[in-house]
Amino acid sequence: MSEKKKFNLEYALRSSPRILFSFISEPNGLAQWFADDVNVRDQVFTFTWDGETQKAKLVSLKENKLVRFKWVDDDPQYFFEMEIVQDELTNDVALNITDFATPETLSERISIWDNQIDYLMSVLGGG
């Protein structure tokens, strides 16, 4: 099995950081675009897609700025992170994604993020 490599994606979004933060940090927000269903207990989020569940521990949270999750069943060095970046001059808001994938699954992972962010844009009412 190939080693996973870190990759970064950036998406411009029409949203305030405060509103966007609720969509990346709260179960009901995440369930609207990231997964079919999301539950949280003791900082462990259970994400459900097509009846299959994966658990991720919330390991970092900065109010209106950033969330970082570690998959419970993955190696400890791997995580995925969603960071809200606001341009100081234009006030444009972007969502930066940091994730890991093997070379064989990289294009698939990027495609999944692209699709999920498309959902997020439609939920936010822009795009």
Domain extent for 57? 5-124
Q: Across all residues in the chain, what is the average pLDDT?
A: 95
pLDDT single digits (tens) 6-47: 999 999 999 999 999 999 999 999 999 999 999 999 999 999
- Give me the CATH number covering residue 57: 3.30.530.20
Residue 126 pLDDT: 54
pTM over 0.85: yes
Q: Is residue 50 within 8 Å of residue 35, measured between CB atoms?
A: no
Domain count along the chain: 1
DSSP assignment string, 44-97: EEEEEETTEEEEEEEEEEETTTEEEEEETTS-TT--EEEEEEE-TTT--EEEEE
